[in-house]
Amino acid sequence: MQNQAQHLRIDKIALLTGAKIYGDPSVEIDHLAKIEEAGPGALTFLYLASYEKYFEITKATAIFVKNGFKRTRDDIIYLEVHDPNKAFLTVLISHFSPEFNLVGQAKSAYVHPSALVDVNTALGENVYIGAGCRIEKNTKIYPNTVIMDNVTIGEHCLIYPNVTVRENCIIHNNVILHSGCVIGSDGFGYVPGPEKRYIKIPQIGNVILEDNVEIGANTTIDRAALGSTVIKAGTKLDNLVQVAHNVVIGENTVLSAQAGISGSTKIGNHCIIAGQVGVVGHIEIADNVVIGAQSGISKAITKSGMYFGSPAKEHKTALKNEAHIRNLENYVERIKKLEARLTALESITKNEHEQQGQ
């Protein structure tokens, strides 16, 4: 992990995270690193058991560990906490996050005369802002981004290079849009016409991204045919996610890469949808649902819980079915043997009947 140069004393780290120190509290660390890559001056953390193999060889100066961790080395400073992952993240956010150096408004940025752009918003090179837009304070828009007509963008947003936000879309506060994402592309709407040609249905709605939403690179969110496609507050979408027209995704829900949500589907709050999940259109998914990777959702999910498979089933049922599928070869051999025994028994019974008849 590469970080800006910083110098942070161990005792300050402990004060920030509530850690118990085993070692010299006056020592300074100057960067953060993964346990397997850490060198002198680094602060690292040990959270998962699978990474314990790196503990004896790491060259880090200090390490976050769980309470009660067995301290077998005296050349490293231990910082004991309940949750090393969260403690490390606290230090990362508070002292080692990159400072975005985009300042002012680039001369090559085009801002339509009717657009209202706060003076504290920074624009990169080749940014285009269309008619009727409103962009609030402390938002940063990086180069080669296109903001089309009548878009509203709130405060403290971060829009990385090569983003497109189509007309009439609404982006609330503290939203992050990563490179290459498209907000408000046309929904996939067509009807069959004469001579087997498709007729395009105009997509005249918009997209609304509520507060604290984050959209990954090359993710596309289609505008509604009518009304709005809505991503509610706190929800995070990974790279390469497809959200179709008129979808509504609830608050604090997470979608992993290559998930695809078909049109007019409603997904609840606090859901987790893993990678490559496909969801059919016009269904509802309840709050607090977890869907395993590569699952296919073919009907509504009305009850909270874990689901997996294609078509998806409750997790325990899906695992039992998967276990049976993996044992099909053994089942086939067992059935063949049982059939052979049955055939032999039938032959013996037939012979006995014939002998009795004589």
More reliable by pLDDT, 70 or 319: 70
Q: Which residues are catalytic?
A: 245
Arithmetic mean of pLDDT, 27-51: 94
Q: What is the pLDDT of residue 104?
A: 55
Read off the pLDDT of residues 61-83 as tens digits, 9 standing for 90 and up.
999 999 999 999 999 999 999 99
Read off the pLDDT of residues 121-156 as tens digits, 9 standing for 90 and up.
999 889 999 999 999 999 999 999 999 999 999 999
More reliable by pLDDT, 3 or 141: 141
Residue 62 pairs in a beta bridge with 43, 77
Arithmetic mean of pLDDT, 253-269: 98
Arithmetic mean of pLDDT, 46-66: 95
| HEC per residue, 125-185 | CCCEECCCCEECCCCEECCCCEECCCCEECCCCEECCCCEECCCCEECCCCEECCCCEEEE
In this prediction, residue 1 has a pLDDT band, given cuts at 50, 70 and 90, of: very low
| Per-residue pLDDT at 242 exceeds 50 | yes
Q: What is the pLDDT of residue 357?
A: 67
| Per-residue pLDDT at 170 exceeds 50 | yes
Cis, bond preceding 98 (omega within 30 deg of 0): no
More reliable by pLDDT, 326 or 129: 129
| Per-residue pLDDT at 102 exceeds 60 | no
Instruction: Please report, rounded to a whole number, the percentage of residues in the chain having pLDDT higher than 90.
Output: 77
Q: What is the pLDDT of residue 6?
A: 74
Q: What is the pLDDT of residue 160?
A: 95
Q: Average pLDDT, whole number, for the chain?
A: 92
Instruction: Give this prediction's pTM.
Output: 0.81
| Per-residue pLDDT at 51 exceeds 80 | yes
Q: d(Cα 93, Cα 163) in Å, to the nearest integer?
A: 25
In this prediction, residue 2 has a pLDDT band, given cuts at 50, 70 and 90, of: very low
Q: What is the pLDDT of residue 101?
A: 52
More reliable by pLDDT, 308 or 235: 235
Lowest mean pLDDT among 26-40, 137-151, 320-334: 320-334
| Per-residue pLDDT at 349 exceeds 60 | yes
Q: What is the pLDDT of residue 321?
A: 76
Q: What is the pLDDT of residue 97?
A: 75
Read off the pLDDT of residues 274-283 as tens digits, 9 standing for 90 and up.
999 999 999 9
Q: d(Cα 209, Cα 219) in Å, to the nearest integer?
A: 13
